[in-house]
Amino acid sequence: MNVVGRATAAAASLTVLVVLAVLAADAVLVFPASAQAARRSAPPPDAGLALPAPTGRSLVGATTLDLLDRRRADPWRPAVRRELMVTLWYPAGARTRRLLAYTTPEVSAGVLGSMGVARSSWPGVLSAVRTHSYVDAPPAGSPGRRPLVLLSPGFGMPRSSLTALGEDLASRGYVVAGVDHTYEAAGVQFPDGRFAGCVPCSSTDPERFGKVIRGRREDLSFVLDRLTGAHPAWSGAGIIDSSRVGMAGHSIGGAAALATLQTDRRVRAGLDLDGTLLPPRHEVRRPFLLVGSDVHGMPGTDGSWEASWAELTGWKKWLRLAGAGHLTFTDWGLLAEGLGVRRQLPPDSAAEQYGTIGSARGLRITRAYVAAFFDAKLRGERAPLLTGPSRAYPEISFKVPR
d(CA 213, CA 219): 10
Does pLDDT of 312 surpass 70? yes
Whether the Cβ atoms of residue 179 and residue 188 lie closer than 8 Å to each other: no
- Is CATH 3.30.465.10 the right assignment for the domain spanning 3-399? no
C-alpha dihedral sign at 368, 370, 372, 375: negative
pLDDT value at residue 4: 52
In sequence order, the 6+-apart residues with CB closer than 8 A to the CB of 32 are none
Mean pLDDT calculated for residue range 190-198: 91
| Among 177, 148, 155, CA closest to 20 | 155
pLDDT value at residue 335: 86
pLDDT value at residue 325: 94
Q: Report residue 70's pLDDT band, with 50, 70 and 90 as the boundaries.
A: very high
CB-based burial label for 127 (10 Å; 0-12, 13-18, 19+)? buried
d(CA 338, CA 268): 37
d(CA 4, CA 276): 9
Does pLDDT of 386 surpass 70? yes
Does pLDDT of 22 surpass 80? no
pLDDT value at residue 6: 53
Q: Where are the domains of the chain?
A: 3-399
Lowest mean pLDDT among 134-143, 255-264, 276-285, 366-375: 276-285
DSSP string of 178-212?
Answer: EEE-TTSBS-EE-TTSEEE--SGGG---TTHHHHH
Does this model's pTM top 0.75? My answer is yes
d(CA 373, CA 291): 11
Does pLDDT of 3 surpass 60? no
Mean pLDDT calculated for residue range 226-241: 97
Largest distance between two CA atoms of the chain: 58
Q: Are strands 81-92 and 267-273 parallel, antiparallel or unpaired?
A: unpaired
Does pLDDT of 25 surpass 60? no
Mean pLDDT calculated for residue range 326-353: 86
d(CA 196, CA 287): 35
pLDDT value at residue 112: 63
pLDDT value at residue 106: 80
pLDDT value at residue 298: 66
Q: Report residue 123's pLDDT band, with 50, 70 and 90 as the boundaries.
A: confident
CA 152 to chain centre: 5
| Inter-CA distances, 101 with 108, 129, 260, 267, Å | 11, 7, 29, 29
d(CA 48, CA 129): 8
More confident residue, 256 or 28: 256
pLDDT value at residue 122: 66
Q: Which residues pair with 185 in a beta bridge?
A: 156
pLDDT value at residue 207: 86
Does pLDDT of 117 surpass 80? no
d(CA 399, CA 402): 10
Write the single-letter amino acid at 153: P
Q: For all residues of the chain together, what is the average pLDDT?
A: 86
Does pLDDT of 256 surpass 50? yes
| Among 4, 197, 7, CA closest to 107 | 197
pLDDT value at residue 341: 76
Does pLDDT of 316 surpass 80? yes
More confident residue, 21 or 81: 81
d(CA 179, CA 247): 11
More confident residue, 29 or 234: 234
d(CA 6, CA 134): 35
pLDDT value at residue 349: 83
